[in-house]
Amino acid sequence: MTSWLEGSLKEKLYRNVDAERCARTRRGVGAIHHEPGHRVSGNAALQAHLGSLEHDLAVVRAVVEHATGGRCNSKRQHVGFLSFTTEPVALNPSSVRYAATPIHAIPIIRENGAGATKTRPSTRRSVLNGPRHPPIPWLPLSAVSRALGHQSASRGTDVKMNDPVENAKRLAAYKAVDNHVVDGIIGIGSGSTVVYAVERLAQRVKDEGLDVICVPSSFQAKQLIVENGLRLGDLEMHPELKVAIDGADEADHQLTLIKGGGGCLTQEKILASCAEQFIVIADYRKASKSLGEQWKKGVPIEVIPSSYRPVAQKIEKLLGGKSELRMSGSSKAGPVVTDNGNFILDWRFEGAHDWKEVETTLNMIPGVVENGLFVGMAKKAYFGMSDGSVMEQSV
């Protein structure tokens, strides 16, 4: 039986290994054994992944503790074998999806194994004794730092890697990057799902030598690109993009979107309009039959600050509903200020609308910079599901 702990460990330690590829190459993502007495042992694969043994132990212990929420006693049994005794952990039935990944034994690392194969030149101890294995990608630093509870350039999200919603975001993002990104200029959207797309891009640049220049849609996206060591570009240098990948607050059956929950709708729409392909990545909560079914905060509208009152009044007169100035909350007194120095109105609408008409009506009001309705722009969306699958939607 696959336990929640085992699934979590795989998730954390092998998150940059594509599960399908592993199954094909029989590389063994699941080289972790969970014995019923709450004992977890990870073999040489962990060490091959994580570098020096001392560092491994600290990182792996932190990951295990993060996964279990409990205490972890780790000890070095012999070279290349790590063993952990953890607090009792509850089995979580939602982890059965991990059972789909075959578990293979991976040979123990030895100092000087006969017929040894070097897995990574920089790891002196990383010598596999046994059948030849392709090099295993390293755990990205960002994954380790998330496991240790550090924050990334996401919107202040403390990413919990055993959270089904975070998993769903990651699955959708990884699949979209794998299916749509080739060498060229890529538009990077904003939000918490895009964090995973950038992470995957960085892995592919490192592992496959993918040659991409990334154009950001926000300050957050720019930070992500820089933090992940990707090449930064802009629309001035690269006005045409091969693909733009972005999240959404809601997507209906025609892939009409509400965007701008993170306040970056204007640049996001500009990027989407410059891309040959605009790809949406989201978790299962964002898919709906009609707009407003899932997303209750309304359509974000970026406005010139001095115009917010008359714009709000005009919207209500023309379209009904209620327009509210978005406030910063506890992080700052006063309204949210966008990357462009503007305000955001959230228009809570009632009933069904002709969204193309609404988009045009909103943008015709003097003072409106842009609105968060994306009509007819997305042709493909990836929704990560709670069962670990990815639902694809095309129009």
Residues classed as catalytic = 268
> Which residue's beta carbon is nearest to the bound ligand 5RP?
191
Alpha-carbon gap, residue 42 to 50, rounded angstroms: 12
Interface with ligand 5RP, residue 261, by CB under 6 A:
yes
- Closest contact distance (angstroms) between CB of 217 and ligand 5RP is 8
Which residue lies nearer to ligand 5RP by CB, 67 or 225? 225
Which residue lies nearer to ligand 5RP by CB, 49 or 269? 269
Interface with ligand 5RP, residue 259, by CB under 6 A:
yes
Take residue 238 and report the two structure tokens written for it: 């690269």
Question: Binding string to ligand 5RP for residues 145 to 184, with x set by CB under 6 A, is what?
Answer: ----------------------------------------
Interface with ligand 5RP, residue 107, by CB under 6 A:
no
**Nearest 5°: CA angle at 320, between 352 and 350?**
35
- Closest contact distance (angstroms) between CB of 352 and ligand 5RP is 22
Residue pointed to by tokens 């919207």: 315
Beta strands in 68-183 (DSSP E): 72-78, 81-86, 117-118, 127-128
- Closest contact distance (angstroms) between CB of 267 and ligand 5RP is 9
- By CB under 6 A, name the one of 89, 255, 264, 291 that touches ligand 5RP: 264
Pairing of strands 380-384, 275-283: parallel
> Interface residues for ligand 5RP in 181-220 (CB under 6 A)?
189-193
- Closest contact distance (angstroms) between CB of 386 and ligand 5RP is 15
Interface with ligand 5RP, residue 298, by CB under 6 A:
no
Alpha-carbon gap, residue 325 to 338, rounded angstroms: 12
Interface with ligand 5RP, residue 359, by CB under 6 A:
no
Residue pointed to by tokens 């200020």: 337
Alpha-carbon gap, residue 132 to 107, rounded angstroms: 10
Which residue lies nearer to ligand 5RP by CB, 28 or 189? 189
> Interface residues for ligand 5RP in 236-255 (CB under 6 A)?
246-249
Sheet strands side by side (includes 81-86): 32-35, 39-42, 81-86, 72-78
Alpha-carbon gap, residue 150 to 143, rounded angstroms: 9
Which window, 76-84, 126-134, 256-264, 380-388, contacts ligand 5RP (CB under 6 A)?
256-264
Alpha-carbon gap, residue 160 to 169, rounded angstroms: 12
- Closest contact distance (angstroms) between CB of 264 and ligand 5RP is 4
Alpha-carbon gap, residue 248 to 211, rounded angstroms: 26
Interface with ligand 5RP, residue 262, by CB under 6 A:
yes
- Closest contact distance (angstroms) between CB of 116 and ligand 5RP is 44
Which window, 2-10, 174-182, 197-205, 263-271, contacts ligand 5RP (CB under 6 A)?
263-271
Cα distances (Å, whole numbers) of residue 314 to 163, 310, 386: 42, 6, 41
Alpha-carbon gap, residue 277 to 128, rounded angstroms: 43
Residue 18 makes CB contacts below 8 A (sequence gap 6+) with 174, 178
Residues forming the site for ligand 5RP (CB under 6 A)? 189-193, 246-249, 259-265, 268
